[in-house]
Copies of this chain bind each other. A is one copy, B any other.
Amino acid sequence: MSIKIIITDDHPLILNGLCNLLNHSEDMQVIAAYRNGKQLLEGLKTLQPDVLLLDIQMPEYSGEELAQIITQQYPDIRILALTNQDDINCIKNMLQAGVLGYVLKSASEEVLMEAIRKVHAGSQFLEPEVKDRIIQHTIYNKQEQGALKPVITRREKQVLELITANYTSQEIAQKLCISKRTVDNHRIGLLMKLGVKNAPGLVKKAIDMGLIK
């Protein structure tokens, strides 16, 4: 029995190329192809694949959102992220969202096939390049692997987003309908948790972490 695959990518060229490639393989079968997240979510209601090839950069739904929704609603579907984005935060977000594999579009056909088979078997598949990036990043700032993002609370995240949007504590207080003192307290908390010493540092960290932009 062949591996049932659904592809989602907003580049028609890539979509066609992948269909041709995979359908020529004996143990794989593309059962559907969608061009955006909305079509995908609609289609999944009636037809589920074994493996979902998912592009990350798509309009409307981001790959991260889609991965989160799909792993919750369809825990049996294995997701393989297929993208030319090799941003470390993007990779981490996807993996944390439940994606099993991460393959760059620059990968060879053999690597892609191998990745599909691995993911179908329930194993994780990361390209050596991607692994290296994660390792480098982990070494480079070891204090923030996995520990940092969870510690930021919802409210703190809201405040952080408004700080990066260049609002003052006063303005943030108004927007969130709370006291300026409360906002200042959140600022202090953020400074401690993110390990920086001032507001400019918060902005840089937020961008580094992939929280915004």
Tell me which residues across on chain B come within 8 A of A199, comparing CB atoms: 198-200
Tell me which residues across on chain B come within 8 A of A201, comparing CB atoms: 166
Given contacts A84-B105, A166-B201, A207-B213, 11 further A-B contacts (CB under 8 A): A11-B106, A13-B108, A84-B86, A105-B106, A163-B200, A164-B200, A166-B204, A199-B199, A199-B200, A200-B202, A207-B207
Tell me which residues across on chain B come within 8 A of A11, comparing CB atoms: 106
> Which residue of A84, A105, A204 has the most chain B CB atoms within 10 A of its CB atom?
A204
Q: Is A95 an interface residue (CB 8 A)?
A: no
Tell me which residues across on chain B come within 8 A of A13, comparing CB atoms: 106, 108
**A60 CA / B78 CA spacing, docked (Å):** 38
Q: Is A196 an interface residue (CB 8 A)?
A: yes
**A166 CA / B195 CA spacing, docked (Å):** 12
Q: Is A203 an interface residue (CB 8 A)?
A: yes
